[in-house]
């Protein structure tokens, strides 16, 4: 695929290999949820998700939290639900090492790169009721619309990751 990064192409190849259908929208780089407003409309009816790369206070556990774009993350509430110490954002270097992506591009797709299963996947329970979800393919110049059931019933098992439901 001309003009695409290797990590992005690997995401498409992985999805294709699993037989997971997706719709892709290419766009200018976006760094924030506010910048995604127009993309949200194009991905509708998908729940556009933000994904936060987190670590505990010791820095020895890592989490990827997927929540709806319009929700606010309160670290102590999520930490309490998963029995963790205080949560804060993980470093860009650790995100690159574990998920092969960078801030502004984090997504559930990065879990395919976490072969050692060091990142625990947390999901806001409200997302599970949506038919579709939107996410980046490890780059913030494209967005995907996928069936939520494909992500949770096909993609995640193929990566070896389980998920924990949290209330955000």
Q: Is the pLDDT reported for residue 31 higher than 80? A: no
pTM over 0.85: yes
Please say whether the beta carbons of 20 and 157 come within 8 A: no
Residues 67-89 pLDDT 10s:
988 889 999 999 999 999 999 99
The pLDDT of residue 32 is 59
Mean pLDDT of the 3-23 span: 93
What structural domains does the chain harbor?
A: 6-166 (3.90.960.10)
Residues 133-149 pLDDT 10s:
989 999 988 889 999 99
Please say whether the beta carbons of 54 and 77 come within 8 A: no
**Cα–Cα distance, 56 to 22 (Å, whole number):** 33
Mean pLDDT of the 26-43 span: 67
């Amino acid at each position: 695929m001309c003009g695409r990064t290797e990590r992005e192409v690997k995401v498409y190849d992985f999805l294709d290999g699993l037989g997971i259908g997706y719709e892709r929208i290419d766009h200018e780089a976006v760094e924030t949820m506010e910048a995604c407003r127009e993309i949200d409309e194009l991905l509708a009816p998908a729940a556009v998700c933000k994904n936060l790369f987190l670590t505990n206070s010791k820095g020895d556990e890592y989490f990827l939290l997927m929540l709806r774009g319009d929700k606010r993350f309160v670290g102590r509430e999520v930490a309490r639900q998963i029995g963790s110490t205080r949560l804060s954002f993980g470093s860009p270097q650790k995100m690159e090492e574990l998920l092969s992506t960078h801030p502004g591009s984090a997504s559930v797709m990065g879990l395919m790169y976490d072969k050692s299963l060091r990142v625990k996947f947390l999901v806001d329970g409200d997302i599970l009721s949506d038919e579709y979800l939107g996410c980046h393919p490890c780059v913030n110049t494209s967005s995907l619309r996928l069936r939520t059931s494909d992500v949770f019933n096909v993609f995640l098992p193929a990566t070896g990751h389980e998920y924990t439901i949290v209330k955000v």
